[in-house]
Structure 1
Amino acid sequence: MSANFGERLREIRKRRGLSQRELSQNSGVSLSLIRKLEQGEREDTRLETARQLASALKVPTTRLVAEHAEEPADAATVERWAPVHAALAAPAQRDDLEEAPTVTGVRDTLQAAVPLFAHDRFAELATALPSLLRDAETLTAIDPRGRPLRARLLELTGWLMTQTRQFDAAEMALARALDDATDRIQGASTVNTQCWLLLRRGKLADARELAAQWADDVEPRMSRATPAELSTWGWLLLRLSAAAVRDNRPGEAEDALRLAHSAAVALGRECTPEGDFLRTFGPITVALKRTENAMVAGQPDKVLTLASHIPADSLKPSSNNRNRHLLDVANAHTQQRQYAEAVDIFNKIRAGSPQWLPNQRYARDILASIVGKRRTLTPDMRALADLVTLPV
């Protein structure tokens, strides 16, 4: 968050002719927090709070916020993934070409690793990924047929690093993946993940511009578009919508969501082009993102209404769709003071993706709200608080 956040807030509030108390009433943000921000006692706040203030002031969130990144990974996480960081930066090894990796070998190993990414098997990936990255690097140095394999692996690695809040490593992996991309669809798929990284780093304007540019570039002719083209275009529109709603541009967010819906209707069902779980797209995916937008906009009742019509249980546990949606539903229940229902949702996520949940700052924030409003905690609440390392 910009160190000038409080100054910007005070300046825009005065230009709107609002007192601090009136801004508090219009935004739903506490008067004490507004005072602390404007007086410099607090230098930052959550992006969600900044969006509420911006909405009440009728300005884009980026007028208040220069950048608001999610909390990066802690030292223990960085240390756990240090071999992956080293492999990303290491040059190709050419000194033992008798044992050089082959296209078939790297392709088969990568194919075997994809389910580990898709199902958030972080412990197994931390062990397997360094050698696979080194093999892909060496293969590409001696055989150009290795380039698309390395591009795919780097894209997955960038997605994984974003997932675990190792943002600098994610940026490096995704930039290299985009450079390696051998066709427009593969490049756009990488850009989709880059947009997600920008969103998590709070770079809303950059995410909007990048998603809009690439969505324009890859927009297909609907009458003869392939599933891969529709999925790629649809996902870029969803990223554009996500950035716009966080930047307090609801009209732009809805327009992008409407276009994404048209791509989903053209597909007719959830589709996973070329077996790539990152590109899974269709009517359910768009419905999940519409629900996410409602949560960002502070409409928990709408979230629960929309969620009641989404067959989320028919989707496989995946951080790419179902799990993030379930966190929104848990948050909506929490804001409606339906704590037992929220905990039930958390237990469902934990059962399907126990290694994913501890890496989610969003989950920690929701549980902190539940714990803070309960006099006594149930065993399930205590177990979940321990799992996401909620401070005592």
Structure 2
Amino acid sequence: MPQWSDFSTGERIKILRGAEITQGDLAEMSDLSIATVQAAEQDKRMTLPTLLQIAAALGVDTSVILGQQEPRRALRQEDRTMMRELSHAVHDIAAGIAPTVEAPTLEELTKITRQGWELYWKGHYAEAGSLAAPLLRSAAARLHEQPAGDQCEAWGVVADAYRICAYVANLMGVRDLAYASIGHAQRAAENAGDELRQALVTSGRSWVYLRDARLPEALELAEKAAVDIEPRFSKATPEQLTVYGSHVNFAAVVASRMGNKDRAADFLSQSHAAGARMGQEVRAHGTLFGPVSATTQAVGINVSLGQTGKALALIDGITNGDTVQLSEAAQHRYALDKAMAQADAKMWDASLDTLEGALRSAPHWARHQALPQVIVSKVGRASTTRLRRVSKLIGAGPALSGFPTATAKNAL
């Protein structure tokens, strides 16, 4: 299968343009003539100004068009437009450029922040990113208007807005923006004086490290975030247990990626203890945790460790009534982990059935996931018809058809 650099410049423009944008659309978006766009796509002639205008219209760096850098996986035109606006908001606010928007009340901002997290945990990442940019600007405006000495709560909202920006950027593969956003979130959380928010930001940075394959640093930060807020179970509030439980769960994820079974098992034990203490799923600070979260995430952790039997045993004890308590994104992720465990157990048809269900129920979420391609690559002995059907669903998601498929490594 060809690599991105194997295509010609004109071919790369066509791929980035995709089926949803015609040559006429691109000409209008870039303020160029159709003849100029056609010439560029036919590799006949393209000046530097033309290159810059096309890159700006498509929302990519010129290095992507020239084949020096691969495009972000599964980013459509609307995704790239959203990411540019998100980047502008993050960098402008961090640079101290005063936002020209009205400052909502803190109560209004808190409500909007909850809406942002709800979109994110439903798997509507583009919508969450589109909301995060104006949220950040509005939170900065509120901070600017707060009296000196009464800014802690406003700093907390700013930290939350930056964290949503970081999560969306990290999931979209825009790593530089993820690093910048989580760094600004850390400063805002420190100014807010909120230990839980600071721990959540630390865990968020750990996730950025994980996606950037910086595993030892990711594990160190994940452990620190969990230890810093470890509560006394007898006195802990549901909010404290929610944040702590989600932290130790994530630490188990990182340990499993490193193949460290003992540390992963230790963190899982703490996660199950926190979930059992809570007795139900609780949402707090943009995260959801409880006994079902602890169990379903343990499935993926055991899959990563190659402990297929343990994963399947956990799956046998999880019912549909359990999973409906999870966020939509968590439900879909559990389905992928289940499909992977079934594939590892050579339960080919069952794996494809599970995978197909996830792909059909959440196509908007699935197109940002690399794991479906990994699962299909494992299922080599299944029904040809079923395999073809699922492969078509996966192929319909990414904007770059024909582009190299993901590996198990970058699916993490």
Deviations 1:222-272 (A, max 9, x none): 211111222222222222222222222211211121122222222122222
Q: Is the 8 A contact 1:116 1:124 kept in 2?
A: yes
Please give the secondary structure, in 2, of the residue aligned with 1:272: strand
Match of 1:343 among 333, 348, 352: 352
Pair 1:283 & 2:286 matched: no
Q: Match for residue 354 of structure 1?
A: 363
Which structure 2 residues correspond to residues 202-351 of structure 1 after superposition, within 5 A? 202-273=213-284, 276-278=285-287, 280-312=288-320, 314-316=322-324, 318=327, 321-351=330-360
CA–CA separation in structure 1 for the residues paired with 2:402 and 2:321: 31
Moved more, 223-232 or 135-144: 135-144
Q: Which runs of 5+ in 1 are unaligned?
A: 1-70
Deviation at 1:79, TM superposition (A): 5.1
Q: Which runs of 5+ in 2 are unaligned?
A: 1-70, 404-412
Deviation at 1:177, TM superposition (A): 1.4
Under a length normalisation based on structure 2, what TM-score does the superposition of the two structures give? 0.69
Counterpart residue identity of residue 133, structure 1: L
Deviation at 1:72, TM superposition (A): 5.6
Q: Match for residue 167 of structure 1?
A: 175
Q: Percent identity?
A: 22
Deviation at 1:191, TM superposition (A): 2.0
Moved more, 248-257 or 320-329: 320-329
Aligned length: 317
Q: Match for residue 115 of structure 1?
A: 118
Q: Is the 8 A contact 1:363 1:388 kept in 2?
A: no
Please give the secondary structure, in 2, of the residue aligned with 1:224: coil
Deviation at 1:129, TM superposition (A): 3.2
Match of 2:85 among 83, 86, 93: 83
Pair 1:383 & 2:386 matched: no
* Residues 239 and 73 of structure 1: CA distance in aligned 2, closer, same or farther (over 3 Å): same
Deviation at 1:346, TM superposition (A): 2.1
CA–CA separation in structure 2 for the residues paired with 1:222 and 1:122: 34
Q: Match for residue 132 of structure 2?
A: 129
Q: Is the 8 A contact 2:123 2:329 kept in 1?
A: no
Under a length normalisation based on structure 1, what TM-score does the superposition of the two structures give? 0.72
Deviation at 1:357, TM superposition (A): 0.6
* Residues 132 and 95 of structure 1: CA distance in aligned 2, closer, same or farther (over 3 Å): closer
Deviation at 1:161, TM superposition (A): 1.9
Which structure 2 residues correspond to residues 55-74 of structure 1 after superposition, within 5 A? 73=73
Name the structure, 1 or 2, with higher relative contact order (CA <8 Å, separation 6+).
2
* Residues 277 and 127 of structure 1: CA distance in aligned 2, closer, same or farther (over 3 Å): closer
Deviations 1:312-334 (A, max 9, x none): 55434646532222111111222
Please give the secondary structure, in 2, of the residue aligned with 1:321: helix
Match of 1:180 among 177, 185, 188: 188
Q: Match for residue 164 of structure 2?
A: 156
Q: Match for residue 406 of structure 2?
A: none
Deviation at 1:73, TM superposition (A): 3.9
Q: Is the 8 A contact 2:170 2:178 kept in 1?
A: yes
CA–CA separation in structure 2 for the residues paired with 1:193 and 1:319: 20
CA–CA separation in structure 1 for the residues paired with 2:112 and 2:224: 34
Q: Is the 8 A contact 1:185 1:228 kept in 2?
A: no
Q: Is the 8 A contact 1:103 1:139 kept in 2?
A: yes
Pair 1:366 & 2:375 matched: yes
Q: Is the 8 A contact 1:73 1:166 kept in 2?
A: no
Deviation at 1:382, TM superposition (A): 3.8
Please give the secondary structure, in 2, of the residue aligned with 1:236: helix
Q: Match for residue 146 of structure 1?
A: 154
